[in-house]
Amino acid sequence: MKGKEKNFVSAVVYVHNDEEKIGGFLEKLLRVLGSNFEHSEIICVNDCSQDGSFEKIRKVSESALEVSVSVVHMSCYHGLEAAMNAGVDMAIGDFVFEFDRADFDFNDSVIMDVYRRSLE
């Protein structure tokens, strides 16, 4: 674990009918968190998805060795803000990343840039 950040980080991910995107998104996020932090977690907030989003999350999380992955199931559709608040309430990290959609439309390095900038 040499060279990894010591702070525990949480990533809260909003999921609503994201079956097509969530698998790739989580794989990239797992890679970034696992290679940069000693301790981290991902909390997926499943906002009453009607597709196979949960199955994709479960499949990807089975291969997660360094990062804890958990799912919060909303009982009915609550919308982005309420769902994200539920995920943030569950987060135990010293630092919490919030992803309001399962789309990695930015470079992986942005996550660490944001983290380092917040420490300044």
The pTM for the full model equals 0.94
Taking a C-beta distance cutoff of 8 angstroms, is the pair 63, 34 a contact?
Answer: no
Percentage of the chain modeled with pLDDT above 70: 99
Sheet with 95-99, side-by-side order of all strands? 68-73, 40-46, 9-15, 95-99
* Average of per-residue pLDDT across 45-56: 97
CA distance 56 to 61: 8
According to DSSP, residue 83 is labeled H
| Residue 12 φ/ψ, nearest 5 degrees | -100, 125
Whole-angstrom CA distances from 105 to 21, 39, 50, 83, 110 are: 11, 25, 24, 22, 11
pLDDT the model gives residue 83:
98
Whole-angstrom CA distances from 116 to 29, 31, 76, 97, 119 are: 17, 18, 36, 12, 5
pLDDT digits (tens, 9 = 90+) for 87-113: 999 999 999 999 999 998 899 999 999
CA distance 109 to 71: 25
pLDDT band at 1 (very low <50, low <70, confident <90, very high): low
CA distance 78 to 84: 10
pLDDT digits (tens, 9 = 90+) for 2-27: 789 999 999 999 999 999 999 999 99
pLDDT the model gives residue 110:
95
